[in-house]
Amino acid sequence: MRRIPSILAVLSVLLLAGCATKTRSDALTTTLNAYGSTLRWGDFQSAAQFIDPALRAAHPLNALDLARYQQVRVTEYDNGAGPVPTGDFDVQQTAQISLVNIHTQSERTVVDHQTWHYDEKTKHWWLTSGLPDITQD
């Protein structure tokens, strides 16, 4: 009879941990979908809002970056196999982004290696790798 309260306590802790993991997973899915949609529309300025606030403050988008992003149109965003956990609060995702230069009409694809971190305090996933480097060949 003494074991039943102990077993119930352990099950309760596991259930709460599972709920936290489900909430974190749902938030990741929502965040990655919103980020992908934002990039598909080519709205790099709004996509910058997904970057960790401390990183965004330390490295704000400058006029040259914004001008580069305005010279391309996103034609495809493919996040491949999706996010891969690298820790309890971190995931990595590799996306291929097809871009067309609006002046030359030439198309190319860049590979974007994304790193995302979950902030337990704000219950929010933040992009820690920055916006895609569209200058790569």
Q: What is the CATH number of the domain that holds 37?
A: 3.10.450.100
pLDDT (tens digit, 9 = 90+) per residue, 115-137? 999 999 999 999 999 999 999 86
Owning domain of residue 78: 3-127
**Considering the domain boundaries, does residue 9 fall inside one?**
yes
> What distance in Å separates the CA atoms of residue 11 and residue 16, rounded to the nearest whole number?
9
> What distance in Å separates the CA atoms of residue 79 and residue 81, rounded to the nearest whole number?
6
**Considering the domain boundaries, does residue 134 fall inside one?**
no
Q: What is the pLDDT of residue 16?
A: 36
Helix (H/G/I), strand (E/B), else coil: 48: helix
Are the C-beta atoms of 112 and 77 separated by less than 8 Å? no
**Considering the domain boundaries, does residue 132 fall inside one?**
no
**pTM for the whole structure:** 0.82
Among candidate residues 63, 54, 25, the one with its CA nearest the CA of residue 126: 54
**Considering the domain boundaries, does residue 29 fall inside one?**
yes
**Considering the domain boundaries, does residue 135 fall inside one?**
no
